[in-house]
Structure 1
Amino acid sequence: MPPTATPAKPFRYRGRFAPSPTGPLHFGSLVAAVGSYLDARAHHGDWLVRIEDVDGPRTVAGAADHILRTLAGFGFEWDDEVVVQSQRLDRYHAALSRLQVDGWIYPCACSRSEIAAATTTRSIDGGLRYPGTCRAGLAPGKAARAWRLRVPDEEIRFVDRVQGETRQNPERDVGDVVLLRADGQYAYQLAVVVDDAAQGINTVVRGVDLLDSTARQLWLQRCLGLPTPVHAHLPVVVNAVGEKLSKQTLAEAVDPARGSAALAAACAFLGHPPPGELTGAPLPEFWRWAIAHWSMSRVPKARAIYPGVIAAG
């Protein structure tokens, strides 16, 4: 019998910014931080910072400290202590064990090459859709490489505060999701669901590149009996050739020395261009204006925007 969603409890707004320490903070990350921070503060709520370093091989030494110094340099103020995922592996193990006992996950022996040989169907996020090879049990002589979550062949719907109504059939569009990888690393999907619940996050504001992950996270929350946050997915920043800013696309680090000028560019990207006299204003003055004028309804619905378009406009 499918689990039912657990509604979030009506309590004080709690949002978060959760960067992965794969490199320094770039303009795309600054936009996500600004959007989540302004939405929390405009609702007189809490804003938390979480370092999502659960993917050990991608973590860059020193990047987490650099990100925190950069945020502080721009005048961000976070509530509660900074949570670091690599220090919370016991929580993910406990959640995985519960899912195993309840029958929501199963061991998978498939390698990437075997999946590629079994299907050519692409998932909604561009990878190969898992064809369910190990759902009925491991083949003789096969050993488990990973653990997968059974996803439903049904439409999951939610209303995003920016992107509007969103629908996804996880079984058809993605296939069963890996929660524990073959290399022993816990997957992002499991860690983010466990941590949002543990921290009492009831509002998630993040980049639209994660929109396609939301339905499978909603399903996982149901399986674990966890509350469902409200979501808002902001447009992502792309470079001149349409690539999302990232370490892989050689995105430049943002410099806190630019102060309110960089924050003004982020606000303009999010549909909130500040008055000219605020560019270069002291950080406290800029933040007061930005918080007072924030409205999610003004954020562009576009999935991706090149900042040069804003400058040209």
Structure 2
Amino acid sequence: MSIATLIRELGRGQASLAESEAHSLFAAMLDGGVEDLELGALLYALRTKGESLDELLGFQRAVEERLYKLKAPHDGIMPVVIPAYGGGQETANLLPLFALLLQHFGIPVLLHGTLENHDGMAASYVLRELGILPCVSLSQAQHALDQEGLAFVPTAVLCPGLASMLSLRNRLGLRNSAHLMVKLLQPFSDAGLHLVSASQPDWLEQLRTYLLATEAHALLLQSCDGEPFANPMQRPQLEHLNQGSCEILFEAERSPTRSSPNLPKAASAAATALWTKQILAGEVPLPLPLVNQLACCLYGTGYAQDMNQAKAIAAIEAGGLAAA
């Protein structure tokens, strides 16, 4: 099928690609084998139509073949993989805080994402204020994971072709299939717990279907300004997916928390970094929805034997921070 025919049929919603077709198409996109005009049209058509499960599976296989891998630290604790591609204009980005909380427990954390966000405050901005700089190579990322238990790796280091497709957002004015695929990256050769999120219910359902079909290990939740951390004002539903099964660990709150957390007053990287340090020093309490998400990760990584133990450990830790 010619590119022109493919654009026409996808754009009209008259066809979806088979897994093998999607694999070949996305491989060409990642390798720069599609001219700019056709690439933009294809990405727009896929975005408008919505990617099918077979298309996602084909895209994922193409990405996997081009993804540079890391090794999880050999300390017996499963790592957590956190995509960092969002960040709002008015809400503080608490993803670095959550990563540091996990590191506090000795859980290895790999953040991957973009260095800039023209729509708001990227996690990379806050990380820089906290003294955590992006790794410029795989060897540096591996060293940071092994020695510090935390690394922030730009997408271009893991998969250059995917980073190039992400950058097209500035030219096209909308997200594309690459923004969906980065949520599903598997940078480790072995196991890891992935934080996966989306802002809309239909996108959450799309991701849930994919995660179940691939028997992935993930914590699925509604994003907060595009980032996979629990909204500190109102907890989203927190779902643990593993080996093709789904378990709801926390139901979504129907109304905002009774006591509003003392969040940063300005949505700036410096203010958020300062607030993060205050949380870790026990000067301000950790918002309950983040305590709940922390418990989910303690359970999902095997740090705790069961969810009840995970809840107790997270609650005690939150109280310890407040009393520090």
Q: What's the TM-score once normalised by structure 1's chain length?
A: 0.38
- Point out which structure has higher relative CO (alpha carbons under 8 A, 6+ apart): 1
Larger strand fraction of residues: 1
Q: What's the TM-score once normalised by structure 2's chain length?
A: 0.37
